[in-house]
Structure 1
Amino acid sequence: MSVRPLPQSTPAAQGVDASGVHAFLDAVDAAPDIEPHSLMIMRHGHLVASGWWAPYTEDRPHLLYSLSKSFTAAAAALAADEGLLDFDAPVISYFPEFEADIADPRSRAMLIRHVASMASGHGADTLYPALALDHQNLVRGFLLLPPDHDPGTVFAYNQPATYTLGAIVRRVTGQSLTDFLRPRLFDPLGIGETAWLRDRSGGELGFSGLHATTDAVARLGQLYLQRGVWEGERLLSEAWVAEATRAQISNTEVETSGIDWQQGYGFQFWMSRHGYRGDGAFGQFCLVLPEHDAVIATTAATEQMQKLLNLVWEHLLPAFGPTPLPGREERDAALAARLARLALPPAAGKPAPPERAEAWSAVDFAPHGGVCEAQPTLTAVHITEGRNLALIDDGQPLQVPIGNDGWTVVEEPVPLAVSGGWSDADTLVVDIAFLETPHHLVVTCSLTDGTFTARWSTQSLHQGALRTMRAPRASL
């Protein structure tokens, strides 16, 4: 399917001051603990600014982590509109095979609206306790855990709640979430290919694991901003959008990573100090700002998500003004030029030391300390011809080129970009960016003792072999 481009305009024509966008770019580039990957700004239905920090690109899917939840919720809304599920029905009513197992009255009283709003009654996330109770069926494990409070009375961010919501959609539709969403949401919105991580039963995780482009995130946000209507066609009911994007449950007393996580929770959307949002770990944001008729979509790699939001509120919000802003052509052109050349600095490194060329021509490295704690499946590193690095991970070699200037991009078997080189004659440091995720692995090889170390810049929440650090493919 060909993806229809979003309507485009200049920032000034839509009342966006380019200087505010410049200030935001300056701020994120200056923040050592924020690595931006992409930015898209929509105003009055038009794309006014967009950019990707090389080696990340516009057409590449990115792991959205918990921003996936907002797409799962849309699937539930569409199923409800078709009369296939009822948000006021008990969750257990959709899993009659568990009737004999689930005796706790609070578990039996849990409604679909409760799992959709993170108000199942549990006091904390139940992912690992639920898996401990039933490693094969997360829904059953979740329902076997008695809630600490009556459903609907307390907030707790709870991955199995969203998984259960997605499992109900799959059950009542007889389709995967992706197949159900494709003709009803993805195709009408003009969203291209997506991919979703699945569990051992074959079901999409729902609460995480969706890989999609930043463009897809912006389109979802714009659909909600337009109250469910896209190009004159109603895709989501106006009542659903209103309910999903208001606080269904209070979370003001919850200990969180920042104040924007204490503004209330809707149906798989967070309320913010400004507007509302879908968000995912490490800086995947869909910010919807009805008061400014604007949508901001980002992907990134940061553990300081509140800091990233603070920079949006500090620099981008003041940029939204009256329409149009006259006499801004040069400023708009300068911003467009800057956005077109965004790039992450490659890791520093020198070329292979000529005085040690023979020593580096063919050498093997073992994990320092016997085990690579950051990536236990990574058991050895081989270098051949002084420029070919092979990471032996889960028993298979992952070839990584080294010794080139800038970023070197490799597409198979895993899309990645490599930079770095020799920090001294006996030490090689390579930065490996897994381009369909927020994550980098930094590998350091020491010729002195024949060992290597590895560390993640941000630790993947979906643990597995390095070859799985990509959007799922049918062949995998």
Structure 2
Amino acid sequence: MSAIVLTHLACADHSVSTSLERSTPAAEGVRAEGIIDFLDAVARSNHELHSLMILRHGKVIAEGWWEPYRSDLKHTMYSTSKSFTATAVGLAVSEGLLSLDDEVVSFFPTELPDTVSPYLAALTVKDVITMTTGQDPDPTGVVTRDSNWVRAFLATPIVHEPGSTFLYNTLGTYMLSAIVTAVTGETLLDYLTPRLFAPLGITDVDWQVDPQGRNTGGWGLRIRTEDMARFGQLYLQNGMWRDEQLLPEQWVREATTASILQAPELPDSIRRTSDWLQGYGYQFWRSRHDAFRADGASGQFIIVMPDQDAVIVITSETADMQGELDLVWEYLLPAIQDGPLPGRGDVDATLAERLTTLALPLPVSAGVPAPTLPVAEATYAIAPNDRGIQSLSFQCGSGPCTVAVATDDGEFTFVFGDGAWEYGETTRRGPYRLPAKAVYVGLPPLEVAGAYAWDDEQTLRLILRYIESPHAEMLVARFDGEGVSLTLNNSLAPGSDGPTVEGLRTPSTAVTADR
């Protein structure tokens, strides 16, 4: 597995307001009841929202974060990153640095395979940006294990004529990042900072890079919820921001228009039900209701609705992204009206209060007391296992519970709250959808929040949320005399039983945590 590092950049103050303008739903013609109904529907569903921001006429009319998530935290974008990468391509085109008709091989003359096939020779930037490279299957999982991703991508066979067949290809978006770096001499992040991020007031951005230091492009961007909203509003305004044309209007139109259909052979009766079958632009998805969106795995959405002059931003964890979008169309879309709605201050206030009390559920104890020593304060030597866990230490009397884990990669200490989240940081890498690419060398410590509950006097249940990502780990420790077993699950595989490690108690050792 090749190492991945991550670049981190804090943008300087560019004398622009750091916040979007705020208003109320009624003032901007949105029925607050529809938003409340949406929140109720989310609460009844299997979708776990982490943040929601709704803009109408360029103003934020509703915003909320489900505790322990917060407005100041960045959030993993996954493939929402792709739309930002395409924006860099658009800027480079506008500066005359490249053309969509340029052949990909022209940018990497020293990385080509010994034999360049006719399809590879013909592959253009436009083919890559519209997900029509002709490779099948998506080579991402294989290529990212290589030490040279550009060379490995170019060596991957192209089996369909470029431009003819849609196939989602995350490494193709990485190649767009590599092309931007080739023509600018800068990383994607460095190139975008003065042209996009700084003018929009987006700061403290980070983005993963490959072994050569190029940003990954197709994933790896981390920004805040309001930053996502700014980006969506920029596209809603056809590239205009505060009287400055940051992005050519023609590029915005082309990027958000369908260049290819995902499955043209399917009947309209099926296409009408799916937001993944409405066409694909330049790293933007067309959506139902004449909308378009950037989206990322597990439910990271920037939904732009030109007909309604609205932007909806969601960060979440869901296994059913279409189901989450269905709720948007069922509840939020009909709430948007043609003009202001006077005399609705009460319901706006009800919504505002609701948005301040959003929270993810905490683990609930079964009403049993915490066990007495030695179970609640002990260290256990763990038998050899494929997770590299060497020992576990527990200090779980009344109040917060501290757990120290010694692994092959180092020692990590976490604090879990009793009936409340305990916040901290860790250098341990949590769950990620792309494990081959999740070797985050250089990443700042990750923000976490932990909580626990006793199911009975021998069973301790712990939840550790990585609150700059969609994901969490669920751990169950079972104590039996001198032994302990720890079952490890995470939110990427809800409902499944993860691996279990076992160990025996050693002489008690104090556990100390930085909190």
Q: Does the pair score TM above 0.5?
A: yes
Return the offset for 1:57: 0.5
The aligned runs of 1:202-221 (5 Å cut-off) are: 202-221=213-232
The aligned runs of 1:40-439 (5 Å cut-off) are: 40-99=53-112, 101-131=114-144, 135-252=146-263, 259-274=274-289, 275-349=291-365, 353-364=369-380, 366=382, 371=385, 376-384=387-395, 386=397, 387-412=401-426, 413-439=445-471
Mark the CA change 1:346 to 1:102 in structure 2 (over 3 Å): closer, same or farther.
Answer: farther
User: How many residues get paired?
Assistant: 452
Secondary structure, aligned partner of 2:71: coil
Conserved 8 A contact 2:371-2:458: no
Q: CA RMSD in A?
A: 2.1
Kindly provide the amino acid, as one letter, of the partner of residue 38 in structure 1.
S
Mark the CA change 1:237 to 1:282 in structure 2 (over 3 Å): closer, same or farther.
Answer: same
Deviations 1:422-463 (A, max 9, x none): 111111110000011111001111112412111111269xxx
Return the offset for 1:94: 0.5
Mark the CA change 1:360 to 1:97 in structure 2 (over 3 Å): closer, same or farther.
Answer: same
Counterpart-to-counterpart distance in 2, 1:127 and 1:379: 33
Kindly provide the amino acid, as one letter, of the partner of residue 203 in structure 2.
G
Return the offset for 1:410: 1.1
Point out the more displaced range, 170-179 or 451-460: 451-460
Kindly provide the amino acid, as one letter, of the partner of residue 121 in structure 2.
R
Deviations 1:7-34 (A, max 9, x none): 1111111111000000110011111x21
Conserved 8 A contact 2:449-2:466: yes
Picking from 21, 24, 40, the partner of 2:38 is: 24
The answer for unaligned runs of 5 or more in structure 1 is 461-476
Aligned to 2:506: none
Conserved 8 A contact 2:130-2:283: yes
Counterpart-to-counterpart distance in 1, 2:265 and 2:205: 33
Return the offset for 1:385: 6.0
Counterpart-to-counterpart distance in 2, 1:403 and 1:158: 41
Secondary structure, aligned partner of 1:183: helix
- The question of 1:450 aligning with 2:463 is answered no
Point out the more displaced range, 344-353 or 397-406: 344-353
Conserved 8 A contact 2:379-2:391: no
Mark the CA change 1:100 to 1:12 in structure 2 (over 3 Å): closer, same or farther.
Answer: same
Kindly provide the amino acid, as one letter, of the partner of residue 246 in structure 1.
T
Mark the CA change 1:457 to 1:379 in structure 2 (over 3 Å): closer, same or farther.
Answer: farther
Counterpart-to-counterpart distance in 2, 1:354 and 1:267: 56
Deviations 1:280-313 (A, max 9, x none): 0001000001111100001001111111000000
Structure richer in helix, relative to its length: 1
Counterpart-to-counterpart distance in 2, 1:5 and 1:299: 19
Kindly provide the amino acid, as one letter, of the partner of residue 446 in structure 2.
V
Return the offset for 1:199: 2.0
Mark the CA change 1:440 to 1:100 in structure 2 (over 3 Å): closer, same or farther.
Answer: closer
Aligned to 1:471: none
Return the offset for 1:239: 0.9
Mark the CA change 1:277 to 1:354 in structure 2 (over 3 Å): closer, same or farther.
Answer: closer
Deviations 1:125-183 (A, max 9, x none): 11134346xx1111221111221111000000001100000100011111111111111
Secondary structure, aligned partner of 2:372: helix
Counterpart-to-counterpart distance in 1, 2:277 and 2:206: 31
TM-score (norm 1): 0.90
Q: Identity over aligned residues, as a percent?
A: 42
Kindly provide the amino acid, as one letter, of the partner of residue 424 in structure 2.
V
Return the offset for 1:363: 3.0
Runs (4 or more) in structure 1 with deviation over 4 Å come to: 253-258
Secondary structure, aligned partner of 2:376: helix
Mark the CA change 1:349 to 1:385 in structure 2 (over 3 Å): closer, same or farther.
Answer: closer
Return the offset for 1:401: 1.4
Conserved 8 A contact 1:351-1:403: no
Kindly provide the amino acid, as one letter, of the partner of residue 277 in structure 2.
Q
Mark the CA change 1:254 to 1:426 in structure 2 (over 3 Å): closer, same or farther.
Answer: farther
Counterpart-to-counterpart distance in 2, 1:394 and 1:351: 36
Counterpart-to-counterpart distance in 1, 2:425 and 2:371: 33
The answer for unaligned runs of 5 or more in structure 2 is 1-11, 427-444, 495-515
Secondary structure, aligned partner of 1:323: coil
Mark the CA change 1:324 to 1:353 in structure 2 (over 3 Å): closer, same or farther.
Answer: same
Point out the more displaced range, 354-363 or 53-62: 354-363
Aligned to 1:474: none
Point out the more displaced range, 171-180 or 379-388: 379-388
Counterpart-to-counterpart distance in 1, 2:137 and 2:287: 21
Point out the more displaced range, 138-147 or 316-325: 138-147
Deviations 1:99-131 (A, max 9, x none): 463411101100001111101112331113434
Mark the CA change 1:200 to 1:231 in structure 2 (over 3 Å): closer, same or farther.
Answer: same
Secondary structure, aligned partner of 2:164: coil
Return the offset for 1:404: 2.2
Kindly provide the amino acid, as one letter, of the partner of residue 454 in structure 1.
L
